[in-house]
Amino acid sequence: TISHWFMRLCADKGLLRRVYTQNIDGLDFQIQLPAEQLVNVHGSMGSVSCETCKEPYPYDAFRSAVESKIKDIYGTCLSAPSKSSQIKCPACGAATVKPDTVLYGSQLPRKFFECVDADMEGLDLLVIAGTSLTVGPANSVAYSVPDQCVRMNFNKEQVGEDLGIRYGEASTRDVFCEGGCDEQFLELMWHLGWLEDLLK
């Protein structure tokens, strides 16, 4: 999406410290955002590993294994087996290979806790996009920034007031960019003179 390409352009221009995303769709992998600048707070469908031994599992091999071993309950794939069988980890043999998503009640990735405190130090701009800011601890990023850090919220509605974000006349550092994220980021890129970069 345009929003993802905005992040990539920020990275390319040396303006991005880190992206913390709650989305598990893996789109950030498709724009080749540098892995060290990305924290998938709730994991991602874009990578696969063994839950037991944590060994990475090649994504394309996982897709092939799903197609050949997992029953298609919707009946759309004629080559799918009639009965599912286990996808085992080649490293430990456990049948616990799955996309790297964080299931409800599971621990967040270690990378979140390793990066968040250091990333907030000296930060001058936090971009918040398309989130309700209701899920913790990911929402803690919004109130962990330094007092002088500007927070730009790209959203269809104002969120985060219970976290200390202030809008309108009460705001000293919070900016609300109302509307869909793609439309708002496209307008920002136009103001920044980045549209030619977006088309490359």
d(CA 17, CA 42): 19
Q: What is the pLDDT of residues 13-57, one digit of tens each?
A: 999 999 999 988 888 888 888 889 999 999 888 889 999 999 999
> What are the structure tokens assigned to 192, written together?
């920044």
Beta bridge partners of 177: 154
d(CA 99, CA 31): 19
Q: What is the pLDDT of residues 122-163, one digit of tens each?
A: 999 999 999 999 988 889 999 999 999 999 999 999 999 999
The reported pLDDT for the residue numbered 197 is 94
The reported pLDDT for the residue numbered 170 is 84
Catalytic residue, chosen from 16, 42, 89, 130, is 42
d(CA 145, CA 121): 7
Binning pLDDT at 50, 70 and 90, where does residue 104 land?
Answer: confident
Q: Active site includes 4?
A: no
